Chains A and B, each alone.
Chain A
């Protein structure tokens, strides 16, 4: 039947494809992307399109942390089929910090425990890896409802916000990346769930750098490399 013929041809072509050789792994640092996720109607849709972006990025290691007591089959199966290098973790949000029905989404910081769990795993995992190379890398926090351009992963993003500029590092969660070394060298730096609204990102960063040490990327912040907080209903 034509369908099988076509499928067979596709398979043959895949085998014949000359893959563009990636540069040797040692020259590309790994980008560790930490994504908290939680069950809701659009979860699979969001994770699907996010994974499609990540598939284009070489040396990306996706750390997905579910806000739940157990790993869900949806996320487990999804990650298995995704084709990405990943780590699947889970940790439930403390009851007091969980948003209640009717709470506006900005009321309580979301994803704190999950991001910290990602950091904990990273520190734990890297400790058991041999060699200096294993400490090379970049850590990025990517929420599952944002959009990322491919150029972003080659650069660190802009530094601009109008809300409470007196924050130590006024930037959105998607607006910074940190070198893995810094994360490993400062094992106590983590997100403070008790920090006032808008200070969540600062609560981690102040444990890692001072403002002068931030490296502006994206052509010295004249280009927007991604659109943050594209919320999907």
Chain B
């Protein structure tokens, strides 16, 4: 019948075209790189790396180009089940301040349920920090307390100098105790993060499971490549791998431990000692009020990985500014 013949004719005409289009499509896609969905969590990236396809170009120098679909919400949406990480960062005005805060904010923007407590060493909260915090979109609390000049590093020689940032960290502890007084059931972790260190994202997930106080190695402290807690076969901390005074009660850097908020709230008298603290003993002055060595929880694969580096920023060379200053002083740097 004519109708059936027409249909057959149409099919025979369309079929080769669909085949052609399919083949062309396949050959266009094949040389493109494998698209791999990244689920955002740091832990997932390990398996992601194994799944990635290798793209071998004629140039022998190229090994691998991995394309990952990324979620661009920053910061990540708040979760009701993750404990909040309260990051305490003292800061002070100096040329590289904005650079440091910018950089560290870019790190924090990847961490879910992060609450940044930034405390300025100043009489008043500065416009620079105020607008920086607002623009990041992070969940934050902005505090300030000025260290009296007599306490500052190059101050009165009679009074032993207090380490930088002490009053600011203590203010943050006080703020936490006042804010969470009645709500001690809200899970949280407290971490002291200085604005010039480098942190891997994995570190924040390691500290989230802290029950009392967790510890891990820190690079570039104590005049070593790294300092680390000593962990025995039972997974307990029994000492400190350090050259500078390894017999300190806690021979650990500020960046090498995190404290469960519950513990902070349950011991309201525990603060960093202000005066009469020997160099390197600041961390001990707080931790001895909170835990004993056997309470410590080793993280970072039983303290075998470096997840934080005590980097320092070199002072920038401003010699060309001269006496009168060359650049526009109104330009915020």
Contact = CB atoms under 8 A, between A and B. Distances in A.
Interface of A: 2-3, 6-7, 9-11, 13-15, 17, 19-20, 22, 41-42, 44-46, 48-49, 52-53, 55-56, 58, 71, 76, 79-90, 117, 121, 124-125, 128, 130, 147-150, 160, 162-163, 222-224, 226-227, 229-233
A80 B65 CA distance: 9
A227 B98 contact: yes
B40 interface: yes
B267 interface: no
A125 B70 CA distance: 23
Given A14-B39, A121-B61, A224 B311 contact: no
A134 to B, nearest CB: 11
Contacts of B79: 10, 13
Contacts of A80: 49, 52, 64, 66
Interface stretch (B102-110, B116-124, B233-241, B273-281): B102-110
Given A48-B198, A224-B332, A17 B64 contact: no
Nearest to A129: B31
B72 A58 contact: yes
A233 B314 contact: yes
Nearest to A52: B107
Contacts, number: 155
Contacts of A46: 198, 311
B209 A2 contact: yes
B320 interface: yes
Contacts of B17: none
Given A13-B81, A42-B309, A222-B331, 18 more contacts: A13-B79, A41-B220, A44-B306, A46-B198, A48-B200, A48-B309, A49-B107, A53-B106, A83-B48, A121-B62, A124-B59, A130-B28, A149-B102, A162-B326, A224-B332, A226-B99, A230-B99, A232-B313
A206 to B, nearest CB: 24
27 contacts: A7-B43, A9-B82, A10-B81, A10-B82, A15-B39, A17-B76, A20-B71, A41-B220, A44-B309, A56-B72, A56-B109, A58-B72, A80-B64, A81-B46, A81-B49, A83-B38, A87-B62, A89-B62, A121-B59, A121-B61, A125-B57, A162-B326, A226-B99, A227-B99, A230-B313, A231-B316, A232-B312
Contacts of B72: 19-20, 22, 56, 58
Nearest to A81: B45
Contacts of B66: 80, 84-86
A232 B314 contact: yes
- Prevailing SS type, chain A contact patch: mixed
Interface residues of B, number: 64
B314 A231 contact: yes
Nearest to A146: B99
Given A11-B41, A20-B71, A49 B100 contact: no
Contact of A45 (B81, B106, B219, B331): B219
Contacts of B59: 121, 124-125
B71 A83 contact: no
A17 B41 contact: no
A52 B200 CA distance: 9
Contact of A6 (B76, B209, B312): B209
Contacts of B64: 79-80, 86, 88
A52 B70 CA distance: 13
Contacts of B45: 81-83
Contacts of A230: 96, 99-100, 313-314, 316
A149 B68 CA distance: 22
Given A58-B72, A224-B331, A128 B107 contact: no
B327 interface: yes
A90 B61 CA distance: 7
Interface in B14-40: 28, 38-40
Contacts of B107: 49, 52
B263 interface: no
Contacts of A87: 62, 65
A162 B62 contact: no
Query: Which 4 residue pairs spanning A and B have beta carbons closest together?
Result: A45-B309, A227-B99, A45-B198, A231-B314
A35 B281 CA distance: 39
Most buried by A among B100, B311, B326: B311
A224 B328 CA distance: 11
B331 A17 contact: no
A12 B195 CA distance: 32
Contacts of A124: 59
B313 A42 contact: no
Interface string B177-217: 00000000000000000000011110000001100000000
Most buried by A among B48, B66, B98: B66
B333 interface: yes
A55 B99 CA distance: 18
B134 interface: no
Contact of B110 (A41, A52, A76): A52
Given A17-B77, A48-B200, A3 B312 contact: no
B198 A49 contact: yes
